[in-house]
Copies of this chain bind each other. A is one copy, B any other.
Amino acid sequence: MIESSRYAAFPTCTLCDLRLLCRPAQHGAEVLPSARILRHRRTLRRGGYVFRMGEPCHSLCAICSGSTRTSVLSADGGAQVTGFQFCGDLLGVGALGTHEHHCDAVALEPTVVCEISFLRLEEIAERVPAVQRALIRLMSDELTHSQDLLLTFLGQKSASARLANYLGTVARRLEQRGLRPEEVCLSMSRSDIGNYLGLAKETVSRLFTRFAHDGLLRSQARRFWVTNTVRLAELTDSQDASV
């Protein structure tokens, strides 16, 4: 419990997916200094790169505060947004096997991230079964999350269902992390959302207008507040575009 003071200034650590691995001293009798695996904390400003595609990756990376956008270069040369990450989310888990980042990660606003040495973690896992299981669990969860995400894109047909689903997912995720849906606000552009969802930015804009008109949310510039989670969820489930 000596460690806990290290994190006093970061209450978000209690929400972090990495917290069980970040403080392995809590696992069993064997005391392991967390300093060995917690490499460093970094502060980024809007537009700053957390990492770039192709860079070597020997760490897991968790977001302490702020938000990020990941993207890859698609075959036609343009960028393809692959996701948005918020407080407590992990970055770079998929790169553990290849030890090389396969996407860019950019801060959407002033953002603080933690890096955890994966090599150290692997060493510790060899000696502490609880850590090994936590690691496997972590990857399994990430896999489940990735497949859930895939699911939302598989059957989706209408644009409104896709956007409603996305906004609802974000609201839910942030709610799980202790924020109220009313407080949900993003920092990403219409283009980013459109790119991510496979929609034209004009379509995204129209949908925001329509959702706001229908009382589902308030939107102002790059921020929005969900005001009717229930109806947003209804839209998500509908296959067609009926509003």
Spell out A's residues near B (CB within 8 Å).
Answer: 72, 74-76, 80-82, 93-98, 102, 122, 125-126, 129, 132-133, 135-137, 139-144, 146-147, 149-151, 153-157, 195-196, 198, 236-239
Question: What are 18 contact pairs spanning A and B, CB under 8 A?
Answer: A75-B236, A80-B155, A93-B140, A93-B143, A94-B143, A97-B137, A98-B140, A102-B147, A122-B136, A125-B132, A126-B129, A139-B143, A143-B143, A143-B146, A150-B153, A154-B198, A155-B195, A155-B198
Nearest CB of B to A165, in Å: 10
Most chain B CB within a 10 A radius of its CB, from A95, A135, A150: A150
Task: Report the copy number of this chain in the oligomer.
Answer: 2
Residues of B within 8 A of A133 (CB): 122
Residues of B within 8 A of A97 (CB): 136-137, 139-141, 143-144
**Cβ contact of A80, chosen from B76, B122, B141, B151, cutoff 8 A:** B151
Nearest B residue (CB) for A141: B97
- Given A93-B143, A136-B139, A198 contacting B157 (CB threshold 8 A): yes
Closest 8 A/B residue pairs (Cβ): A97-B140, A75-B237, A146-B146, A139-B139, A94-B143, A153-B153, A96-B140, A80-B155
Nearest B residue (CB) for A70: B147
Most chain B CB within a 10 A radius of its CB, from A76, A126, A135, A239: A126
**Cβ contact of A155, chosen from B74, B141, B236, B237, cutoff 8 A:** B74
Residues of B within 8 A of A94 (CB): 140, 143-144, 147
Residues of B within 8 A of A102 (CB): 144, 147
Report how far A94 CA is from B137 CA in the complex, Å.
10
Report how far A179 CA is from B3 CA in the complex, Å.
55
**Cβ contact of A151, chosen from B82, B141, B156, cutoff 8 A:** B82
Report how far A151 CA is from B94 CA in the complex, Å.
13
Most chain B CB within a 10 A radius of its CB, from A153, A155, A195, A196: A155
Nearest CB of B to A214, in Å: 20
- Given A75-B236, A125-B132, A196 contacting B154 (CB threshold 8 A): yes
